Amino acid sequence: MSGFSVNEPSRRMKWFAGILVVFYALVTLMPLLWIIATGFKSPADSIAYPPKVIFRPTLEGYVNLFTTQTRITPDMEEGLEPPKNWVEQIVRDKGMVIAGPSRYVQRFMNSVIIGFGSTFLSVFLGTLAAYAFSRFRVPIKDDLLFFILSTRMMPPIAVAIPIFLMFRQLGLSDTHMGMILLYTAVNLSLSVWLLKGFIDEIPLEYEEAALIDGYTRFQAFYKVVLPQAMTGIASTAIFCLIFAWNEYAFAVLLTSGEAQTAPPFIPTIIGVGGQDWPAVAAGASIFLLPVMVITILLRKHLLRGITFGAVRK
Amino acid sequence: MAQIVIRNLRKDFGEFTAVKSSSFTIEDGEFFMLLGPSGCGKTTTLRMIAGLESPSSGEIFIDGEEVSGKPASQRDIAFVFQMFALYPHMNVRNNIAYPLKSQHMPRRQINARVAEVSRILDIQDILNKPVGGLSGGDRQRVALGRAIVRDPKAFMMDEPLGALDAEFREHMAEELRALQDRMHATTVYVTHDQLEAMQMGDKIVVMNHGSIEQFGVPQDIYDWPATMFVADFIGSPAMNFLRFEGEVAPGADMVHLDGQAISVPPQREGAAGKLVLGVRPEHVSLSDASGYRAGVIATEYLGTTRIITLESPNGMLKVRVPATSNAQVGESVGLEFNARTLTLFDESSGRALLSEANEGVLANG
């Protein structure tokens, strides 16, 4: 046993620690709260100086985010029917009418397809590769692992121009497949290394027991190894998803229409009819949700994943 | 159940030879011990029989069928691991049922078998528990249950008691032996604990540095070791080695140590040079009449017996005497050897010299 003892902290220490944690949480959550609040402000409130903390919430930002609008011209005014619902009412109050849906939903779905697609592919390939590296005698294993790691040694954006040219040659520019492949390539080194660590920790005997019990090597892998690697797979998936979800630079460079993801799209909202900060903030708030929800769902795995190996079973 | 024949089995890991060409036969229903110090190749041998390691050369016959090219899953052998290797994501019932599921056995039949096995091992009340919280003994029983449930051709056990605490090990060893007596299952058991091997085994193979030193029933191995390694490894305290220079001719029944004549079993082969007289601690008695004398260095009281450490002209030795013996430290005592139990070794090769007494054991080993 190690030689330290854990003393129950005093009441004052507990209070102090509590205040410190709350303070720190407030500081880090501030930008997030500000974005969420801005999404519910009117454009005037959003740029008011001094900034308004107390304001009348409105869904105008969200309506602007999801619709495109045109200004009502004097000759349109006569044929106009009264607003049918609260959405139309909000738009009408500004002297506009809804011309159609915006492209936000489509861009958001692009993010979902590309983010989850590349995460799935990274984790799938990463798990197989990590298992092979962990269990089999692979020739020049160490060199291969170093090579895989070396792909992370420069910032990915350093190869932006070659990739741009390659994608144009191969017809991958502005396609879902192109972006999925690109993010998978970037994430694969992380996922192979992380998962190899996790699989190394799973004792070989479990698979051997399964082999003895009459299962094939592949059955032993997916029936015995995979369930125990779930913690590692979950935390690796979150890391991969966060990268692919938030990636901006490649998305700007390589997507512009069909396959454009939400990060490069959200700033373009600003240009639609003045500086519409509430619509930008609304777009950003919604964009945060999937990663937040998934992280919360997997938080048990994630915490165990981060401390994995620190405690021997 | 099955007979297992090992013929010229060899395993190399790169430059390192883990098992040098080994041959032995495990009879049907035998409790067979692979004994040796760590790194001697006993576990590798076991894993080759089970199919977890492929041999570099040689043959393995299970029930007359050559299996060295077959994967583990097709050899119909059960394996009990040292750390049990129970599937952590399943409960006890599913762990035991798992080998049957791979055979696509109907569920009702699986349930019946699991129930029967759990009754034999007395683990009915933990069947629905996760394996995580079980005690060492219960884990051991579940691991055994997983092995016996499918009624395999043979059991492989890799130091199955090694992970248990000393108190419980004794109990589990008895349980294992009782189970074996009841099932008459061919069992290959790896251990580095010579007491465990003597206590449980029908037959023992002693291995060292990848080769087989001796193969036989426990008593033969204890009484008539084939090599100095075996003599030293088996028994506690180990066999005493009295080193001397001299010569024995075939037919001789006397050696001279420190000028004293000591009777030995009539020798079948001669040797000269550095020789060793091997004697078990319990085959020495203290006798004032003897001319061969040694000084008492220490005595240990063990209840029923006393171990006395002595310094003789031919080296240190330990003798086991009745607890009532009153030899005092510093005293000089005479030693008498039980002639019929002595073994002579050639020190350079470490091999036992054949005599009338041990030739019956060593000729076939």
Q: Is the dihedral of CA A212, A217, A218, A224 positive or negative?
A: positive
- CB contacts of A213 in chain B (<8 Å) are 73, 98-99, 102, 146, 150
Length in residues, chain A: 313
Instruction: Give the global pTM.
Output: 0.79
Residue A220's alpha-carbon distances to A197, A213, B240, in angstroms, are 19, 10, 50
* Cβ distance of A214 and B103 shorter than 8 Å: yes
Q: What pairing do the DSSP bridges indicate for beta strands B31-35 and B203-208?
A: parallel
Q: What is the pLDDT of residue A5?
A: 57
Look at residue A14 and tell me if it is in a domain: no
Whether A144 and A80 share a structural domain: no
Whether A96 and A125 share a structural domain: no
Q: State how far the Cα of B122 lies from the Cα of A244, in Å rounded to an integer.
A: 54
- CB contacts of A216 in chain B (<8 Å) are 71, 73
Look at residue A299 and tell me if it is in a domain: yes
**Residue carrying the six token digits 């003897």:** B290
Whether A77 and A142 share a structural domain: no
Residue B145 near residue B121, CB atoms below 8 Å:
yes
Local structure of B52: helix, strand or coil:
coil
* pLDDT tens profile B332-363: 999 999 999 999 999 999 999 999 888 888 87
* pLDDT tens profile A286-298: 999 999 999 888 8
* Cβ distance of B73 and A211 shorter than 8 Å: yes
Q: Nearest CA of chain B to the CA of A268: how many Å? A: 49
Q: Domain range holding A219?
A: 105-306
* Cβ distance of A228 and B146 shorter than 8 Å: no
> Most A CBs within 10 Å: which of B44, B48, B79, B150, as the mutation test of the A interface?
B79
- Please give the full DSSP string across chain A, using - where no structure is assigned: --S---PPPPHHHHHHHHHHHHHHHHHHHHHHHHHHHHHTS-HHHHT-SSPPSS----SHHHHHHHEEEEEPPTTTGGGPPPP-SHHHHHHHHTTEEEEEE-SHHHHHHHHHHHHHHHHHHHHHHHHHHHHHHHHS--TTHHHHHHHHHHTTSS-GGGGHHHHHHHHHHHT-TT-HHHHHHHHHHHHHHHHHHHHHHHHHTS-HHHHHHHHHTT--HHHHIIIIIHHHHHHHHHHHHHHHHHHHHH--HHHHHH-SSTT--HHHHGGGGGGTTS--HHHHHHHHHHHHHHHHHHHHHTHHHHHHHHTTTTS--
Closest residue of chain B to A225, computed from CA coordinates? B87
Whether A98 and A220 share a structural domain: no
- Go through B112-141 and write b for each residue having 16 or more CB atoms within 10 A of its CB, e for each that does not: ebbeebbebbebeebbeeebeebeebbbbb
Closest to A215 (Cβ–Cβ): which among B73, B81, B83? Answer: B73
List the structure tokens of B32.
């067979």
Whether A115 and A210 share a structural domain: yes
Q: What is the pLDDT of residue B120?
A: 86
Residue B211 near residue B176, CB atoms below 8 Å:
no
pLDDT in tens, chain A (313 residues): 444 556 778 889 999 999 999 999 999 999 999 999 999 998 888 888 888 888 889 998 899 889 888 888 877 777 777 888 888 888 888 888 888 888 999 999 999 999 999 999 999 999 999 999 999 988 999 999 999 999 888 887 888 899 999 999 999 999 999 999 999 999 999 999 999 999 998 889 899 999 999 999 999 998 999 988 888 899 899 999 999 999 999 999 999 888 999 999 998 887 655 678 999 999 999 999 999 999 888 887 776 655 544 443 4
Whether A73 and A125 share a structural domain: no
For the segment B22-48, the average pLDDT, to the nearest whole number, is 92
Residue B291 near residue B308, CB atoms below 8 Å:
no
**DSSP character for B90?**
S
B4: pLDDT strictly greater than 70? yes
Q: What is the pLDDT of residue A188?
A: 94
Look at residue A4 and tell me if it is in a domain: no
**Sequence-separated (6 or more) residues with CB below 8 Å from residue A260:** A107, A110, A174, A251
Residue A167 — φ and ψ, nearest 5°?
A: -60, -35
**Sequence-separated (6 or more) residues with CB below 8 Å from residue B4:** B25, B26, B49, B60, B61, B62, B154, B186, B188
Q: Nearest CA of chain A to the CA of B153: how many Å? A: 12
Complex confidence, ipTM:
0.81
Residue A215's alpha-carbon distances to A162, A218, A298, in angstroms, are 47, 8, 30
Residue B19's alpha-carbon distances to A243, B11, B45, in angstroms, are 50, 5, 7
Closest to B72 (Cβ–Cβ): which among A212, A219, A227? Answer: A212
Whether A155 and A183 share a structural domain: yes
Domains in chain B: ranges and CATH: 4-223 (3.40.50.300), 237-362 (2.40.50.140)
Q: Nearest CA of chain B to the CA of A188: how many Å? A: 28
Residue that terminates a domain, selected from A102, A129, A160: A102
Whether A212 and A127 share a structural domain: yes
Closest residue of chain A to B149, computed from CA coordinates? A213
* Cβ distance of A219 and B87 shorter than 8 Å: no
Look at residue A76 and tell me if it is in a domain: yes
Q: How crowded is residue A284: how many other Cβ atoms within 10 Å of its Cβ? A: 20
Domain CATH number, residue A200: 1.10.3720.10
- Provide the percentage of residues in chain A whose pLDDT is more than 70: 93
Omega of the bond leading into B88 within 30 degrees of 0 (cis):
no
Look at residue A15 and tell me if it is in a domain: no
Whether A182 and A265 share a structural domain: yes
Whether A69 and A199 share a structural domain: no
* Cβ distance of B88 and A228 shorter than 8 Å: yes
Confidence of residue B1 (pLDDT cuts 50, 70, 90): low
* Cβ distance of A209 and B78 shorter than 8 Å: no
Residue B364's alpha-carbon distances to A196, B1, B34, B214, B216, in angstroms, are 50, 25, 18, 10, 9
Residue A176 near residue A113, CB atoms below 8 Å:
yes
> Most B CBs within 10 Å: which of A135, A211, A213, as the mutation test of the B interface?
A213
Look at residue A130 and tell me if it is in a domain: yes
Length in residues, chain B: 365
- CB contacts of A206 in chain B (<8 Å) are 85, 87-88
Whether A62 and A138 share a structural domain: no
Look at residue A233 and tell me if it is in a domain: yes
Local structure of B116: helix, strand or coil:
helix
Q: What is the pLDDT of residue A257?
A: 86
Whether A87 and A226 share a structural domain: no
Residue B26 — φ and ψ, nearest 5°?
A: -110, 115
* Cβ distance of A214 and B51 shorter than 8 Å: no
Number of structural domains chain A divides into: 2
Number of H helices, E strands in chain B: 9, 21
* Cβ distance of A210 and B98 shorter than 8 Å: yes
Residue that terminates a domain, selected from A102, A131, A158: A102
Local structure of B35: helix, strand or coil:
strand
Residue that terminates a domain, selected from A49, A81, A102: A102
Q: Nearest CA of chain B to the CA of A150: how many Å? A: 30
Confidence of residue B184 (pLDDT cuts 50, 70, 90): confident
* Cβ distance of A214 and B81 shorter than 8 Å: no
Q: Convert B302-346 into a string of H (helix), E (strand) and C (coil).
A: CCCEEEEEEEECCEEEEEEEECCCCCCCCCEEEEEECHHHCEEEE
Least confident of A85-89, A219-223, B93-97, B206-210: A85-89
Look at residue A230 and tell me if it is in a domain: yes
